[in-house]
């Protein structure tokens, strides 16, 4: 299959591969759309099994960012960067400086920020070679780590879906969280504070232990998390958690989490709907982080200080947008992911 034949290609404006032997950099930057503004999306570092796997991930994530930014009502398009390498062993300042140079060569068509395997400290090195890096501290426009804002938008989405699907408060439900990294751990704290009972799983045993000690969560294996008795299943790790294999194992009525590309494919979303489960489309519910980053990009572009009130207003609007998706799904008797995709494409055809 060629690049243009890939189902994930879907009209990408550009796909850029960069290689720096000295720095050990192999990276792909995919730009899906700049119809609403410059493409924006995080940088992911992962030990992909092949360059083809990295490309497929970049394409899917980039397209999702176009949809996410449109649904968050941002003047940004969608893009994504993936760096091929093990984030536990292959990180160096030189690698991220080379990545920054690659981003800069795109002339502002793509803004990067953190994602899985990449931290603000890593991107500080990229910032030495490019101004098109967001999510950092140390300047008036800085928005800082976007993870807490992502967790806030997911928390609001979980609360809304629990009320809509179950008619309950968070204090009355049990939530299974798959992945307690940056966002998942903060989400666990928020849910615990709201009275929810938690079950957590992560490949990082120390992370699960820390969350369990703070929240009283039950810890299970990464495989067993699909089988626990819970009202809500919150995918907060990598994509593809909801698949024909895992769906029959889920006991939850609500699927709502922070991971990107939670559905293994559209057939998984259709199966969720047909089985009476309520799915909060991932790129709608997890839009808080990019809203925070957009606040920084906006401030940098205007030469102003970061405005938390602007971010708060966009977060409020994002919750309303999720309500609109749920309302249309119910009225039209269609899966939520189909409704959200249609709404996003409508917004992409109508520049911000």
Query: What is the pLDDT, as a whole number, of residue 182?
Result: 87
Are both 44 and 107 inside the same structural domain? Answer: yes
Query: What is the pLDDT, as a whole number, of residue 351?
Result: 64
3-state DSSP call for residue 170?
helix
Are both 164 and 262 inside the same structural domain? Answer: yes
Give a yes or no: residue 200 inside a domain. Answer: yes
Are both 151 and 223 inside the same structural domain? Answer: yes
Are both 109 and 169 inside the same structural domain? Answer: no
What lies within 8 Å, CB to CB, of 107 at 6+ separation is none
3-state DSSP call for residue 38?
coil
Query: What is the pLDDT, as a whole number, of residue 238?
Result: 81
Are both 7 and 118 inside the same structural domain? Answer: yes
Query: What is the pLDDT, as a whole number, of residue 218?
Result: 98
CA distance 230 to 178: 12
Indicate the number of domains in the chain: 2
Are both 160 and 255 inside the same structural domain? Answer: yes
CA distance 13 to 31: 6
Give a yes or no: residue 294 inside a domain. Answer: no
Query: What is the pLDDT, as a whole number, of residue 261?
Result: 87
Give a yes or no: residue 238 inside a domain. Answer: yes
Give a yes or no: residue 236 inside a domain. Answer: yes
Give a yes or no: residue 262 inside a domain. Answer: yes
Residue 122: give its domain's CATH number.
3.40.50.10860
Query: What is the pLDDT, as a whole number, of residue 352?
Result: 60
Query: What is the pLDDT, as a whole number, of residue 1?
Result: 59
Are both 337 and 281 inside the same structural domain? Answer: yes
Kindly list the catalytic residues.
80
Query: What is the pLDDT, as a whole number, of residue 4?
Result: 85
Q: Please, what's the b/e burial string for 102-122 (b: 16 or more CB within 10 A of its CB; e: otherwise)?
A: bbbebeebbbbbbbbbbebeb
Are both 162 and 276 inside the same structural domain? Answer: yes
Residue 222: give its domain's CATH number.
3.40.50.720
Are both 16 and 154 inside the same structural domain? Answer: no
Residues of the chain with pLDDT under 50: none
Are both 244 and 108 inside the same structural domain? Answer: no
Give a yes or no: residue 300 inside a domain. Answer: no
Residue 334: give the domain boundaries.
Answer: 147-285+321-348
Are both 164 and 49 inside the same structural domain? Answer: no
Spatial contact of 251 and 230, defined as CB atoms under 8 Å apart: yes
Are both 33 and 119 inside the same structural domain? Answer: yes
Give a yes or no: residue 132 inside a domain. Answer: no
Give a yes or no: residue 45 inside a domain. Answer: yes
């Amino acid at each position: 299959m060629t690049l243009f034949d890939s189902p994930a290609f879907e009209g990408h404006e550009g796909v850029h591969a960069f290689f720096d032997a000295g720095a050990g950099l192999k990276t792909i930057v995919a730009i899906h759309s700049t119809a609403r503004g410059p493409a924006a999306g995080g940088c992911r570092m992962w030990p992909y099994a092949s360059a083809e796997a990295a490309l497929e991930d970049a394409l899917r994530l980039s397209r999702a960012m176009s949809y996410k930014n449109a649904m968050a009502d941002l003047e940004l398009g969608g893009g994504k960067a993936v760096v091929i390498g093990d984030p536990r062993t292959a990180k160096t300042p030189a690698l991220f400086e080379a990545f920054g140079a690659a981003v800069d060569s795109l002339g502002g068509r793509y803004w990067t920020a953190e994602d899985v395997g990449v931290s603000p400290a890593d991107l500080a090195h990229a910032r030495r070679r490019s101004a098109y890096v967001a999510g950092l501290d140390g300047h008036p426009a800085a928005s800082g780590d976007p993870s807490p804002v992502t967790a806030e938008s997911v928390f609001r989405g979980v609360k809304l879906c629990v009320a809509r699907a179950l008619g309950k408060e968070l204090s009355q439900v049990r939530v299974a969280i798959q992945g307690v990294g940056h966002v998942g751990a903060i989400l666990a704290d928020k849910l615990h504070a709201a009275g929810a009972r938690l079950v957590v799983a992560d490949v990082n045993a120390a992370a699960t232990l820390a969350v369990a000690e703070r929240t009283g969560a039950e810890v299970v294996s990464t495989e067993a998390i699909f089988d626990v008795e819970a009202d809500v299943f919150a995918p907060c790790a990598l994509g593809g958690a909801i698949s024909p294999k895992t769906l029959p194992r889920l006991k939850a009525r609500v699927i709502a989490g922070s991971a990107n590309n939670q559905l293994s494919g559209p057939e998984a979303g259709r199966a969720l709907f047909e089985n009476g489960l309520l799915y909060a489309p991932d790129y709608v519910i997890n839009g808080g982080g990019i809203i925070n980053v957009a606040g920084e990009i906006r401030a940098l572009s205007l030469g102003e200080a970061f405005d938390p009130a602007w971010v708060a207003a966009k977060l409020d609007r994002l919750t309303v947008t999720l309500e609109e998706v749920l309302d249309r799904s119910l009225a039209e008797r269609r899966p939520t992911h189909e409704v959200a995709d249609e709404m996003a494409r409508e917004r992409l055809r109508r520049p911000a």
